Structure 1
């Protein structure tokens, strides 16, 4: 399997400083489109510290500055945030699920692989933790197209939008992704992202260092 290096690293936030770096990206990215979120997203929230949550931080190698982030919440400690607004289909209810939120890239970043690497990191984290389904909310048709390109499908047959309470009651499309079937599906369809997602080793995606969520880290330190 070939190895490829990136212009940035992706890793799990291990410290309050790492989490604050992720919040800077959230604030800049979401605040660029929705100014009212700039202040709200500048600080960690309760879910960031949950033992069911990891926050991914993408750092530019040249500058050392944070340039991207995403958050993965697994339903091991209760319902997903999105499940406060939507009901998952019965076929998914007995499986482990994860929601990807706060996926953000600093405005002006030109490396197109940042968001894709964050999705690969989220996928690998879910795969390693035996999560069957990833669920995500997308607020624009452009985002929906990006997620569909990866293999996400609408949670609803009529493809309707749903106001999400944890996203300011803004209407979102809700999409799901079968983690367990993904590699098989990508391979069978000769998917153009197959090589990046599963056919290449990226040493700069560093998920499997000695790992614990910020919540677990703080609990052990107490």
Structure 2
């Protein structure tokens, strides 16, 4: 998948095309989306997120996708939220992302590699299990999920966003100005990703705005100068999911 150019079109002719405003403008505008993004808080919403997650992974890594047919233990752990994008028209699930902070336990990628001193002991958030619809609007949904990730990190005092991408998806993160955590190591097999090699990358929250502005990034206005009231993220709560996924564990 490709990141959006400066202008993009909605998937349906019935939806007004979304436009990212000019980089030159200074005022902050409000933009409505044809879908919402929220934090999963019940079993039905989680099942929708798991369904779109599995479908997305099945298109690209079908063998690994077999392990994603049901909720994972991590989905219900403290310090974890699952985001769900849903169509306003019919409630269809359009995309999902899981965000794990290291407030209660190490990040999932730390099962496979230790973080450098520059990140050790810092409040971090790792985005995993990103999946979007195969429809054209999926490109829009993906960018909105990344904005939600950024907003969530801001709201919760996160130092750096961390993400791991397999080739060629890692290039998308590089275009968002994420940098290699271990440039000399290249791609590293990750246990929580079926031992598939991933490129581990990070973006410091306090640096993101300046980096995007200096680079005149085509998504700068979209991330910084445009308000999206359809994105509903906020402060971290313990046990956001008040249930245990079947066959996994019970929340303490």
Q: Same fold (TM over 0.5)?
A: yes
Q: TM-score, normalised by structure 1?
A: 0.92
Cα RMSD of the aligned pairs, angstroms, is: 2.0
Higher helix residue share: 1
d(CA) in 2 for partners of 1:157, 1:171: 14
For each residue in 1:157-202, what CA deviation from the matched residue of structure 2 results, as whole angstroms up to 9, or x when unmatched? 3251100011111111111111121112222332221100011000
Aligned partner of 1:10 among 37, 45, 58: 37
d(CA) in 2 for partners of 1:139, 1:78: 24
- Contact 2:187/2:197 (8 A) holds in 1: yes
Q: What does residue 52 of structure 1 align with?
A: 79
- Contact 1:23/1:44 (8 A) holds in 2: yes
For the structure 1 residues 93 and 81, does the alpha-carbon distance in structure 2 shift closer, same or farther, using more than 3 Å as the test? same
The more displaced of 51-60 and 106-115 is 106-115
For the structure 1 residues 17 and 216, does the alpha-carbon distance in structure 2 shift closer, same or farther, using more than 3 Å as the test? closer
Matched, 1:217 2:242: yes
For each residue in 1:132-174, what CA deviation from the matched residue of structure 2 results, as whole angstroms up to 9, or x when unmatched? 1111111112x12211111101111325110001111111111
Q: Kindly report which structure 2 residues correspond to 1:5-154, keeping only aligned pairs within 5 A, or say none.
A: 5-141=32-168, 143-154=169-180
Q: Could you say which structure has the larger radius of gyration?
A: 2
d(CA) in 2 for partners of 1:6, 1:216: 26
Q: What does residue 191 of structure 2 align with?
A: 165
d(CA) in 2 for partners of 1:38, 1:157: 28
**Structure 2 alignment gaps of length 5 or more:** 1-27, 245-250
Aligned pair count reads: 219
**Structure 1 alignment gaps of length 5 or more:** none
